[in-house]
Structure 1
Amino acid sequence: MITFTNLTKRYGDLTAVDNVSFTAEPGLVTGFLGPNGAGKSTAMRVAVGLTRATAGDVTILGQRYADIPNPAAHVGILLDASAQHAGRTGREVLALGALAMGIPSSRVDQVLETVGLTKKESRQRVGKYSLGMRQRLGIGHALLGNPQVLILDEPANGLDPHGIHWMRQLLRTFADRGGTVLLSSHLLHEVQQVADRVVMIGHGRIVADAPVEELLADGQDLEQMFLERTMSTSREGYAA
């Protein structure tokens, strides 16, 4: 479970995240949806301890991320696939992650197979990887410790249609086994395909939070709702 409680993050006069509260439940894929610059990435960075909150809090499995013993073994994270060390091979990236988590090196081969990176590809330098390959490697690193929670920021970037289908199945299986998935995207269609619940954010504020079926009830146009609630220049009238 991931719980955001009245989270606010300001950078000088700019409020990037404004009193955000919602919960990502076990057994569900929660889609965190909003246009670029809406506050999604900032909120996720606060959740995993990379950015300090101005006010409010985020807990994962009942604790702040920094207070979880060996957190990477419990919480799988992918925030920026391009941040991987370009001079290391894919296998080296995973092997170092396994070493840091204290898990068997045999897990590396299991993960490589899971994310569809071949032996030949795993021995290539990450600097030569396509964006889609980096995304697969990043998802693999997030899965290394057999975590209970996945936090993924725009994981579909760079994936071809086959890769996107693979990712959907992976996340669905993870959630169906009781895991918690928080998936951010600015792509409404992609989130709608895999999410059980959607949290929409615009201008740093939550503008919708409901099961996908509820948002689609009575013939509502989800795309129009998304555009109206997240792209408006006004913050007035939105409920947190």
Structure 2
Amino acid sequence: MIEFNRVGKSYGGVRALDDVSFTVGAGSITGFLGPNGAGKSTAMRVLAGLSRPSSGAATVLGRPYAELDRPGSQVGVLLDASAQHPGRTGREVLTLGAMMLGLPASRVDEVLDLVGLTGQEARRRVGGYSLGMRQRLGVGHALLGRPRVLVLDEPANGLDPQGIRWMRGLLRGLAEAGCAILLSSHLLHEVEQVADRIVMIGRGRVLAQGTLAELGRGRSLEQLFLDLTATTDRSPA
């Protein structure tokens, strides 16, 4: 349902993505990992149609995001929870999203309940939200249209342990219902708990991909990550 086919992206003389290829199938969660500056955010922006690839193609449901019919009802995207308008209430943010997707007002209440924001919290302005509350709201916005594909960048950032457990259960439930999920996170233990497959990227290139059993060979995800990124750091630029 998600496919990167030899995607390259350059900014001036800087190669941010270099021949990136991988897929995310229906009913699965793929953890997308790499150190800061590895190219994760660039790849997700290319997938969401916010940046054009210099070469190759990134598609969702067989088409570039920009060519999808009503993409918000097919693909849920959370790239930056802090991008929400601070002067609007949480309910207003979701209501505007629902209106754009042609959804009934009842869907807003369903989503608020799904992400664990109370009525009182929904009436507060987003500028007064904690980071964890912003994340819950951002995930809720991504889920408004009951999408078949989710693209999430650091969705558990700012969540407390209870919130992280909630996020884990939410993602597993969505995958079991057939959703394809691409999940970027620096919380390696949580990725280890929830992901079916792992894609590791460094300096814009895919370093390894597969199930943790295939890649780890007895190592934890953290040790695998450290080993691969250390090898990349020693390689020529």
User: Shared fold by TM > 0.5?
Assistant: yes
Per-residue deviation, 1:215: 2.3
Equivalent-residue separation in structure 2 for 1:12 and 1:230 (angstroms): 25
The TM-score, its normalising length taken from structure 2, stands at 0.96
Query: Would you say 1:111 and 2:122 are equivalent positions?
Result: no
Equivalent-residue separation in structure 2 for 1:235 and 1:107 (angstroms): 50
Per-residue deviation, 1:234: 4.1
Report the counterpart of residue 227 of structure 1 in structure 2.
226
Contact preservation (8 Å) 2:207, 2:228: yes
Query: Would you say 1:171 and 2:183 are equivalent positions?
Result: no
Contact preservation (8 Å) 1:33, 1:187: no
Per-residue deviation, 1:187: 2.7
Equivalent-residue separation in structure 2 for 1:60 and 1:16 (angstroms): 21
Which amino acid letter does the alignment assign opposite residue 222 of structure 2? E
Report the counterpart of residue 53 of structure 1 in structure 2.
53
Equivalent-residue separation in structure 1 for 2:196 and 2:98 (angstroms): 31
Equivalent-residue separation in structure 2 for 1:137 and 1:32 (angstroms): 22
Q: Which runs of 4+ in 1 moved over 6 A?
A: none
SS in 1 for 2:107: helix
Report the counterpart of residue 34 of structure 2 in structure 1.
34
Report the counterpart of residue 101 of structure 2 in structure 1.
101
- Output one character per residue of 1:96-132: Cα deviation in whole Å (capped at 9) or x when no partner: 0000011111100000000000000000000000000
SS in 2 for 1:227: helix
Change in Cα spacing, 1:221 to 1:163, as seen in structure 2 (3 Å) is closer
Query: Would you say 1:211 and 2:211 are equivalent positions?
Result: yes
Per-residue deviation, 1:225: 2.2
Query: Would you say 1:92 and 2:81 are equivalent positions?
Result: no
Equivalent-residue separation in structure 1 for 2:171 and 2:30 (angstroms): 10
Contact preservation (8 Å) 2:192, 2:221: no
Per-residue deviation, 1:177: 0.8
Give the alignment of 1:146-185 within 5 angstroms. 146-185=146-185
SS in 2 for 1:97: helix
Which amino acid letter does the alignment assign opposite residue 7 of structure 2? L
Question: 145-154 vs 182-191, which deviates more?
Answer: 182-191
The TM-score, its normalising length taken from structure 1, stands at 0.95
Query: Would you say 1:19 and 2:19 are equivalent positions?
Result: yes
SS in 2 for 1:156: coil
Which amino acid letter does the alignment assign opposite residue 79 of structure 1? L
Report the counterpart of residue 140 of structure 1 in structure 2.
140
Equivalent-residue separation in structure 1 for 2:159 and 2:213 (angstroms): 27
SS in 2 for 1:178: coil
Report the counterpart of residue 8 of structure 2 in structure 1.
8
Contact preservation (8 Å) 1:78, 1:138: yes
Contact preservation (8 Å) 2:189, 2:221: no
Contact preservation (8 Å) 1:3, 1:23: yes
Contact preservation (8 Å) 1:34, 1:201: yes
What is the root-mean-square deviation of aligned Cα atoms in Å? 1.1
SS in 2 for 1:233: helix
Report the counterpart of residue 191 of structure 1 in structure 2.
191
Aligned pair count reads 235
SS in 1 for 2:233: coil
Equivalent-residue separation in structure 1 for 2:204 and 2:211 (angstroms): 20
Equivalent-residue separation in structure 2 for 1:152 and 1:122 (angstroms): 22
